[in-house]
Amino acid sequence: MTNSNEPVRFPDSFIWGAATASYQIEGAARADGRGPSIWDTFSRTPGKVHAGHTGDVACDHYHRYRDDVALMAELGLHTYRFSIAWPRVQPDGTGPVNPYGLDFYDRLVDELRGHGIEPIITLYHWDLPQTLEDRGGWTNRETAEAFAEYARAVYARLGDRVQTWTTLNEPWCSAYLGYGSGLHAPGRTDPAATFQTVHHLLLGHGLANQALRAAGASTIGITVNPTSAFPADPASEADAKAVELVEDLQNRIFLDPILRGGYPQRILDHVSRFTSLDHIRDGDEKIIGEPIDLLGINYYSPTYLAAKEGAPGGGGAFPGTEGIEFIAPAPPLTDMGWQIQPSGLTALLSKLGRDYPGVPMIITENGAAFPDQLDPDGERVDDSDRVAYLDGHLRAAHAAIAAGVDLRGYLVWSLLDNFEWSYGYAKRFGIVYVDYLTQRRVPKASARWYQEVIRRNGIG
């Protein structure tokens, strides 16, 4: 790891940016023909989201995008990663395209490019049209086919001005938290549905990849959130096996089909404990394994694991991990209760570089929630803890590059404080403070620090 006070410089071509997601910032939940998503439904289900918060208004980015883009330009961002709300484009998930929904993204892309900021589009960041969920959601193979149709429609409108396309964001969360633990929309708790969803998300990725490539897209990728897992006792073979199983369920079940052409047999054996494998059809793995150009990596915190008789495992988020103890995070912690360990990022990037060589990577999310408050004058947020977090993780990313990892860029999560899923508005990840009552934006100290990092292309 680079000395914490030593100046570091990134490659001249390194890309600096920030990321957001549609349901978390856009608001305008019923505007211009947008249909309901599973998160609209979930957030209205009593007890599912903190204090009954919803994304109905969020950061009102739908109406304030010009001011937000001007702020991005002020910070010097090279790129901005945002997601398209599928229910804006196809309110029912299939069928006719809603031109008003695409009009918004048309305006946003033009605004970004007018300020010299390259858009990176994520086609799916969890807001599935509710009508598709009513027909089975991601447990239904038809949803994967509908996703490719949707991808084709978005590219037809925006593909002339957008170079980089990401199919899915964190399919582990969609499958395991949405269909396994019930912590995310649609709130199901069925391990069989979880693994069916994993496959159909991957199939959707592959079909969308094919559709985008056929339409002329030049840079196509997917964003995953692989675990950076460690044994509680490095000398314990049982702990090492625990790490292997959790990595299978969070990393290899996605990355091996995408980058190696198929599921490892031991993962199929594990899945078959919960469901038949009938949902995996001949030819699916070939579709999923269509080449990609860029792998997005989201990293926040490490995981420590121990083999322990009687331990409950990871529950619905990790089906079949009974006998594994997920060690409680050790301080220092973020406001999410997540352990702060930048070296986990170096270890993860290095491992991925070894296991899946030849695929360029970009950090598509990294950041931290802290209990930020405006100063008494309402003009400043001194989030020195976030600055320290970002500093440490950028140094960790630099260390991976120095070790030979092909890392092309870094996108901070998040540009704005926003709707943080089941936590509602109780957690603040933004480098820009949002006063939700007035929608006023106040760049935090971390935003100004990041602005300087981009200007220098390095730290110190």
365 included as an active-site residue: yes
Cα(first)–Cα(last) distance of the chain, in Å? 16
Distance CA 323, CA 347 (A): 25
3-state secondary structure of 143: helix
Distance CA 126, CA 322 (A): 28
pLDDT at 55: 98
CB 220 within 8 A of CB 258: no
pLDDT tens track, the chain, 460 positions: 445 789 999 999 999 999 999 999 999 999 999 999 999 999 999 999 999 999 999 999 999 999 999 999 999 999 999 999 999 999 999 999 999 999 999 999 999 999 999 999 999 999 999 999 999 999 999 999 999 999 999 999 999 999 999 999 999 999 999 999 999 999 999 999 999 999 999 999 999 999 999 999 999 999 999 999 999 999 999 999 999 999 999 999 999 999 999 999 999 999 999 999 999 999 999 999 999 999 999 999 999 999 999 999 999 999 999 999 999 999 999 999 999 999 999 999 999 999 999 999 999 999 999 999 999 999 999 999 999 999 999 999 999 999 999 999 999 999 999 999 999 999 999 999 999 999 999 999 999 999 999 999 999 9
Among 26, 118, 170, 325, the active-site one is: 170
pLDDT at 3: 55
Rg for the chain (alpha carbons), in Å?
Answer: 21
Among 26, 133, 247, 365, the active-site one is: 365
pLDDT at 1: 45
Tell how strand 118-124 and strand 79-83 pair up. parallel
pLDDT at 5: 80
CB 8 within 8 A of CB 459: yes
Distance CA 337, CA 360 (A): 31
Distance CA 119, CA 100 (A): 20
CATH annotation of 8-459: 3.20.20.80
Angle CA 132–316–56, to nearest 5: 45
Q: How far are the Cα atoms of 5, 33, 63, 208, 262 from residue 152, in angstroms, in the given order?
A: 48, 20, 26, 7, 25
420 included as an active-site residue: no
pLDDT at 238: 98
Phi, psi of 80 (to 5 degrees): -135, 120
pTM for this model (two decimals):
0.98
CB 34 within 8 A of CB 85: yes
DSSP string, 170-218: -HHIIIIIHHTS-SSTT----HHHHHHHHHHHHHHHHHHHHHHHHHT-S
